[in-house]
Structure 1
Amino acid sequence: MIGVRWLARLRDAWRPPDRIADADWARLLASSRLFDRLDATQRGHLRELSERFLARKRFSAAGGHVLEDAHCLAIAALAALPVLNLGFEALAGWREVIVYPGEFRVRRTHHDEESGVVTEGDEALIGEAWERGPLIVSWADIATDLEHPFDGFNVVVHEIAHKLDMLDGAADGMPPLPATIARREWIHTMQRAYDALAAAVDRGEETAVDPYAAESADEFFAVVSELHFSDPATLATAMPGVAGLLRRYYG
């Protein structure tokens, strides 16, 4: 016998999402110059994806944050931006968005393989994405991203890049690729740029790309994804191969 909950989820999945009110959509577009780069067709598609995001994802507040409808709409639109050409299916596999008022702290456990010592400590974050788990973000940083859309940072785009990366399992800096991009080309281009950045950071050089990108391959992909949407000129100058690859991936 098919369970009642399963039937309810199936019904919700097929139910058309609610339409975003014209006034609410207009306020969002006017709130940030980030959306100025989209033409009318792209804006229409972004609105459709945002409606589906709002219908399929469950929002909750944490840390005393007061979650407003406008916050949910902004997060939905920013999350939909990277999948404008990839399709809504790229956001599958998870349902929850947790919003903090600002940075939040998580407890980390680190195991040193050489010494065998295990240490614990708190880490302050502004965003986090779990495989098949929630998207967790700081509203204060999202508001800053909307106010200053071209400064090279966008926490929602960063975390959605992690979600895309994890669609095929472990976060390794390589999401499932469209047929137009060969796996070998992606690995060669990204690895060469990552190695060059890591070497520059190790030498203590000032880099155009946030040195946090040198932490790991998955953080590199997330950081350059931020730049693709928020400061593409800097990315094109610093890493032209990566910039070209992301234009083909994201559009």
Structure 2
Amino acid sequence: MIFSWLRNRRRRRVLAQPFPKEWEELLQRRVRHYRYLPPSHQQRVRQIVPVMVAEKEWAAAGDFKVTPEMAVTIAGQAAVMASGFDEPYFFDRLHTVVIHPKTIRFAPEQTSRNPNLPGGWLSGIAWHRGPVVLSWGEIRTELTGRSPGRNVILHEFAHYLDGLDGPADGKPPMSSKESERRWYAVTEAEYLRLVGSARRGEATLLDHYGASNRAEFFAVSTEYFFELPHQLYERHPDLYAVLQEFYHLDPRQWLPRIESPRQDDAGDGGDFQRFRARRQRRSDVAQLKAVQAMAPGDALYALAFDHLQRGRPADAIRLFDQLLEVDPRDEESLAHRALAYLRLQRLAEARRDCEAALAIDPQDAEALWARGAVALQEGRTLEAVNDLSEAVDASPQNIEIRRARASAWMVAGWPQKAVADLTEALNIEPHDAELLAERARAYQALNRTADANRDIARAKLLEPELAWPA
């Protein structure tokens, strides 16, 4: 109680001071939204900014120096987010904002000591009950307007809001149960659509980074709600509506429309398709360099496995043949050639390779999987179940083996066991539409119609163009 009283007293003193003229000019120049806000919302921003600047610790990384301009710019963007709330909101649980001069990257010794530190290059990061960390270089780039839809300050402060009621999960605190239900219904459907589009490499308005998880979806959606509100409203009106309800703001009413060259704003997706092509070329070059650095046998195996993964079993068989000419007891090549034969329905050859691989290593998961799949196609269901169960024991994280055993359980007349396998597979890969459809069929066999309908609905959101059972 005494601490709240002291805090409120200190804030009254801060707010009693005239708002600095240079800060007003800075907000007008640096915070694009501010100059378009209605007067009442501008006043709310002028209440929030001085309190945040005074109360937060504005820390710099290394020898970098934090200036008042940086603090006011960041506080101003955060204040715009909060300007629609009924009472002035000062982000009380946030104590520290750390500013890096350029892109953020934690040293390997730091990430090895602290598993909560992410690897790679970052423009910002926010921890549950921890600091918000921002790259000033990224902020300055975004202030130029060259990255429509991107705003790292809004993104990371959205993570902060998301974490107010527990670890960030894409659902910030809601005002009522009804709002919570509406939020979940809309955002879950929109998230799954984005996941499906990202997996297919389709052009979308929302950045595919939002498909990483639900917390990132909320943060990315917040960026577009404030930065490209007109486009978001036109293409995702339901998502816009729940964000409008949460933030108590409607940026369409005051922010001028700007066009975005990103993703599906390029008409036929031309810019995005060119971006995808460049990214694929970089990936192919990196893969080629990795293969060239391998020993010849390892390189040939990597290429054969890549053919198998990409749905080119005949090409895979040709390369596995070369490997097995050199070493006929290479059980990995035997097992994977068996899987390639299986995809071509060459069952006798698949069975022969399985037996040869299992004679060398009786626990080879791929060989057991292939032999079980052959047995299932030949009508030897119990043999298939036994082989596939051994394969699951040997490789419990392999969702394809679990999928194969689920098919065997269905043929054997045990749909409950199929549900268990498919559920385990979906725990590993929750956005596989075909796994959802297969579990729906198992649920139907158990007369669990509501569960089946739920899975089909999710599958349709992920892959709307495919023909799903009614």
Tell me, what secondary structure is at the counterpart of 1:44? helix
Change over 3 Å in CA distance of 1:199–1:74 after alignment to 2: same
Pick the aligned partner of 2:211 from 211, 214, 224. 214
The Cα shift of 1:93 comes to: 1.5
Pick the aligned partner of 1:168 from 165, 173, 181. 165
> 1:186-201 residue pairs with structure 2 within 5 A?
186-201=183-198
Instruction: Provide the residue aligned with 1:202 in structure 2.
Output: 199
Confirm whether residue 248 of structure 1 aligns to residue 245 of structure 2.
yes
Instruction: Provide the residue aligned with 1:101 in structure 2.
Output: 101
TM-score (norm. length: structure 1): 0.85
Give the letter aligned to residue 35 of structure 2: D
The Cα shift of 1:60 comes to: 1.0
Larger helix share, 1 or 2: 2
Q: Bigger shift: 230-239 or 132-141?
A: 230-239
Equivalent pair of 2:100/2:134 in contact (CA under 8 Å): yes
Equivalent pair of 2:31/2:76 in contact (CA under 8 Å): no
The Cα shift of 1:42 comes to: 1.2
The Cα shift of 1:234 comes to: 2.2
Instruction: Provide the residue aligned with 1:14 in structure 2.
Output: 9
Tell me, what secondary structure is at the counterpart of 1:66? coil
Change over 3 Å in CA distance of 1:29–1:77 after alignment to 2: same
Larger strand share, 1 or 2: 1
What is the percent sequence identity of the aligned residues? 29
The Cα shift of 1:23 comes to: 2.6
Q: Bigger shift: 56-65 or 159-168?
A: 56-65
The Cα shift of 1:180 comes to: 9.0
Confirm whether residue 53 of structure 1 aligns to residue 52 of structure 2.
yes
Tell me, what secondary structure is at the counterpart of 1:91? coil
The Cα shift of 1:36 comes to: 2.7
> 1:7-86 residue pairs with structure 2 within 5 A?
11-15=6-10, 16=12, 17=14, 19=17, 20-86=19-85
Tell me, what secondary structure is at the counterpart of 2:171? coil
Equivalent pair of 1:101/1:140 in contact (CA under 8 Å): yes
Change over 3 Å in CA distance of 1:38–1:150 after alignment to 2: farther
Equivalent pair of 2:158/2:219 in contact (CA under 8 Å): yes
Question: Rg larger in 1 or in 2?
Answer: 2
Tell me, what secondary structure is at the counterpart of 1:182? helix
Give the letter aligned to residue 93 of structure 2: G
The Cα shift of 1:131 comes to: 1.2
Give the letter aligned to residue 165 of structure 2: D
Q: Which consecutive unaligned segments of at least 5 residues does structure 2 have?
A: 250-470
Tell me, what secondary structure is at the counterpart of 2:98? strand
Q: Which consecutive unaligned segments of at least 5 residues does structure 1 have?
A: 1-5, 110-117
Equivalent pair of 1:150/1:230 in contact (CA under 8 Å): no
The Cα shift of 1:55 comes to: 2.0
In the alignment, the residues of structure 2 paired with residue 108 and residue 88 of structure 1 have an alpha-carbon distance, to the nearest angstrom, of 37
Equivalent pair of 1:161/1:221 in contact (CA under 8 Å): yes
Tell me, what secondary structure is at the counterpart of 2:133? strand
